[in-house]
Structure 1
Amino acid sequence: MARTRLTVTGTPVGDVDLVVVTPVGTRRSDPLPLLVAHDGPEYSRRAHLVSRLRTATADGRVPPTRVVLLEPGPRNERYAANPLWAEALAEHVLPTVHTAYAADAKPTLVGASLGALASLQTEWRHPGTFGALFLQSGSFFRKRVDDEEDFEFWDRVTAFVAGVRRARKRRSDARIVLTCGADEGNLANNRQMAQTLAASGHDVTFHERPGRHDWRSWEAAFDPFLLTLLQGSGSPGSSTRRGT
């Protein structure tokens, strides 16, 4: 996989650094699927995202895919339901990537914890930007559900989640897959978010997995759920709990 560093300047949250990882033997003009990852360097280093995709491609399980590894920068400020980050990603970062690289369809957006929250908010505020969302252990905090009131952006996060819960019709056509560990604190709010999205007509599946709120558990959920999502064939029915 060839890696190219880019910096997108002039966004509402300042400069955004990223790395584009491209399958060897492909050109920028080749239209390939695009996977965008919040906390990209950590996903690559600690959850082995790029190497897992490389192996799956070699095995013929997923098509050759470009990966955008987003540097978080000031992570909490950007990812904790910040509408300016959503604008930066949808209206600055992605257009820059699309100018440099051809894509064959709308990209898939991946995130864990606050990264999952930021992923949902970006598509929620800019519907139609992404074709699919892979949300792992999202920090979908709710009052009277989560004991996180000391978090510096608690009010911003709970306000966004409350807004999603008030929606009565589908806001996005993206396919949405949520995963969450059975032994972590975000399990209840992830179950509720899946139910909320299903009730408003979204294409959503939720998978409760063994594990905790950590990179090992998130990596374990790649196969089959992320790989199947990248195949474009939907989530495996035997493991799917739609809206639960």
Structure 2
Amino acid sequence: MPGPVVTADRAELSIPDPDRRWDAVRLEVDWVCDSPRAFALTDGCWTLTLPRPAAWRLEYRLSLHRDGQQEWIADPTNPRQVGNPFGVRSELRFPDYREPAWLLTPPGGDVRPISAPRVAGAPALGVAVRLWTPDGLDPTTAAPLLLVHDGSDLADRGGLLSWATARSRVAPLRIALLDPAPGRRQDQYAADPAYADHLADAVIPALTSTVATSTVVGLGASLGALAWLYLHRRHPDAVDALALQSGSFFTRELDAQESGWAPFDRICDEVVAMSRPVPDGRVIPLLMTCGAIEENLANNRALAAALVDQGYPVELIVNPDAHTTVGWRDVWFPALDELLTDHS
């Protein structure tokens, strides 16, 4: 099959259909797309010209329509695919895209589970905690501790431990891979006080009592970013800095498309609270990143501005991608390295 033709300013997609199996073909994306997405049928082939948006790369799939039925598939003409929590997506890369050099680093080090005893009276949340340590770093040697929401997923699909191995050759750090209880991610990460208390009162103390720590930094994406900022506002001394990627900082004005989701109102209320100063509250350095073509950009910009007004040192990076793991990993270097270095 002919594959996509990608140039500096557009992508040409062609889906053969000589037997006219489908009534329509449509491009389906999880990012803001202002261009037409319906393919045109010409000479037994569905075609679409997609002008390049403000991105280095794109993830997409196709919807096929026939007799009132609809089917979603990856592009059969495109061998390049990426994993996604909601299924496989096809990928387009524009000519100027470059993968991070650290991806070539084989992950090293050691990973072991950490037990975080429950605080008396607190509910059992089932959070899994695993501690990664680079080769040669003794437990008594102080180093930054990076706590990562969705830790296993960012390690598996984002190459987190390759990044950490490469960085640790110059400046060692440890990583706590945090995973929510199965099926409870949306509840625990959506500004849940019990989850925030568990991390602050049980998980972080268990880690800092196990290894010498120079600074504690949280990393999270999407709801994982929201959960970290909520934890900081509830427990100001728990962490020393945060890296918040594509945070789900929903507001009723900017994110009405999410209003049917059960935690929406709770998140909106907490974002309003985060946008207001806390008397005598502690401010910490914040690294915020968000994709140039994702729906969360407006709410991230609004919250970043509100946090700057409160005195937070905020660096906001708008990276040329969408709400994707690849987009998140592509800005870890040098921004996350610098956050860890500056606050060690």
TM-score normalised per structure 2: 0.64
Tell me how many residue pairs correspond in the alignment: 230
Give the conservation status (yes or no) of the 8 Å contact 1:86–1:122. yes
1:171 deviates by: 2.7
Is the counterpart of residue 213 in structure 1 residue 312 in structure 2?
Answer: no
1:198–1:169 CA distance, 2 compared to 1 (3 A): farther
- The alpha carbon displacement at 1:25 in A equals 1.4
Going from structure 1 to structure 2, the CA distance change for 1:7 and 1:150 (only over 3 Å counts) comes to farther
Residue 7 of structure 1 and its aligned partner are, at CA, apart by 3.5
Give 1:29's match in structure 2, choosing from 133, 136, 140: 140
Higher mean Cα deviation, 82-91 or 10-19?
10-19
For the structure 1 residues 26 and 181, does the alpha-carbon distance in structure 2 shift closer, same or farther, using more than 3 Å as the test? same
Partner of 2:232: 123
| TM-aligned CA deviation for residue 200 of structure 1 | 1.0
Q: Is the 8 A contact 1:169 1:200 kept in 2?
A: no
Aligned CA distance change for structure 1 residues 95 and 137 (closer, same or farther; 3 Å): same
201-210 vs 2-11, greater mean Cα deviation = 2-11
Shift of the 101–168 alpha-carbon distance from structure 1 to 2, 3 Å rule, reads closer
Pairing 1:42–2:149 present: no
Structure 2: which amino acid aligns with 1:126?
Answer: H
Given residue 142 of structure 2, which amino acid in structure 1 is its aligned partner? P
- Give me the whole-angstrom Cα distance separating, in 2, the residues matched to 1:208 and 1:214: 13
Relative distance call for 1:177 and 1:13 in structure 2 (3 A) is farther
Paired residue type of 2:221: A
Query: What's the offset of the Cα at 1:20?
Result: 0.1
Say if 2:276 is the partner of 1:200.
no
Deviation of 1:205 after TM superposition, in Å, equals 1.4
Equivalent-residue separation in structure 2 for 1:22 and 1:31 (angstroms): 12
Residue matched to 2:199: 89
Q: Is the alpha carbon distance of 1:109 and 1:5 closer, same or farther for their aligned partners in structure 2, counting shifts above 3 Å?
A: same
What SS does the corresponding residue of 1:15 show, helix, strand or coil?
Answer: coil
**Rg (Cα) greater in structure:** 2
**Counterpart-to-counterpart distance in 2, 1:39 and 1:233:** 23
- Aligned equivalents of 1:180 and 1:33: distance in 2? 24
- Alpha-carbon deviation of 1:177? 0.7
Native 8 Å contact 2:145 2:174 kept in 1: yes
Aligned residue type for 1:42: D
Match of 2:293 among 169, 183, 203: 183
Shift of 1:213: 0.4
Q: Deviations over 1:84-143 (max 9, x none)?
A: 1110111110011112111123x0100000000001011111002111100000000000
CA–CA separation in structure 2 for the residues paired with 1:169 and 1:99: 31
- Return the letter of the residue paired with 1:35: L
Closer, same or farther in 2 for the Cα pair 1:166/1:233, shift >3 Å?
Answer: closer
Q: Which runs of 4+ in 1 moved over 3 A?
A: none
In the alignment, is the contact (CA less than 8 A) between 1:82 and 1:156 conserved in 2? no
In the alignment, which residue of structure 2 is the partner of 1:4? 112
Write out aligned runs for 1:126-145 (5 A).
126-145=235-254
The 8 Å contact of residues 9 and 16 in structure 1, kept in 2 or not, is answered as: no
In structure 1, stretches of 5+ residues that fail to align are 235-244
Displacement after TM superposition at 1:71 (Å): 1.0
Deviations 1:4-55 (Å, cap 9, x if unpaired)?
1123242535232111000111222221111100000011111111111211
Residue in structure 1 matched with residue 284 of structure 2 by the alignment: 174
Structure 2 letter corresponding to 1:174: I
- State how far apart, in whole Å, the 2-side matches of 1:229 and 1:199 are: 20
What is the DSSP-based 3-state SS (H/G/I as helix, E as strand, rest coil) of the residue aligned with 2:143? coil
Bigger fraction of residues in strand = 2
Q: 1:197 to 1:57 in 2, by over 3 A?
A: same
Alpha-carbon distance between aligned partners in 2 of 1:83 and 1:126, rounded to the nearest angstrom: 10
Structure 2 unpaired stretches of 5+: 1-108
User: Which TM-score applies when normalising by structure 1?
Assistant: 0.90
Question: Secondary structure, in 3 states, of the residue corresponding to 1:4?
Answer: strand
The RMSD of aligned alpha carbons is: 1.6
Return the structure number with greater helix share: 1
